[in-house]
């Protein structure tokens, strides 16, 4: 009877181990459900992006003026007999900062790219 009890406890421990730590355990299911939620949110963003792109494609197919507008704005194209005028805004005056004081003089016996080093001794 004692061996039967020990065997049943051993089987219970083996099954509990697989339930909590093995393949298909609770921890793995929680992790997979988080990954599924993340993927669903990514898919929703990509679906919205695809919808916008499909609307653009449909607009370009249906409206020939849309192609011309796209070429003008994105590619900077103009028609053969057109004149292009670029209007620049008047430049604003930029206030100059106050003059900075001159840098401190450098001692000539030290190399210019040397950094001061403090040496600590006990």
Q: What would the mean pLDDT of 65-87 be, rounded to a whole number?
A: 85
Could you please report the per-residue DSSP string of the chain?
A: -HHHHHHHHHHHHHHHHHHHTSTT-HHHHHHHHHHHHHHHHHHHHHHHHHHHHHHHHHHHHH-HHHHHHHHHHHH----TT-----PPPPPPPPPPPPPPPPPPPPPTTS-TT---------
**pLDDT at residue 111 tops 70:** no
Q: What would the mean pLDDT of 103-120 be, rounded to a whole number?
A: 61
The residue extents of the domains of the chain are 2-75
**Per-residue pLDDT tens for 82-91?**
888 878 888 7
């Amino acid at each position: 009877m004692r061996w039967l009890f020990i065997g049943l406890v051993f089987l219970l421990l083996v099954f509990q181990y697989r339930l909590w730590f093995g393949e298909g355990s609770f921890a793995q299911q929680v992790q997979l459900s988080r990954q599924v939620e993340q993927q669903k949110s990514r898919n929703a963003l990509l679906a919205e992006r695809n919808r916008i792109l499909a609307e653009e494609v449909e607009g370009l197919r249906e409206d020939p003026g849309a192609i011309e507008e796209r070429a003008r704005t994105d590619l900077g194209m103009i028609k053969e007999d057109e004149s292009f005028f670029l209007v620049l805004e008047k430049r604003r005056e930029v206030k100059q900062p106050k003059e900075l004081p001159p840098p401190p003089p450098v001692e000539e016996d030290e190399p210019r790219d040397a950094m001061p080093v403090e040496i600590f001794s006990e």
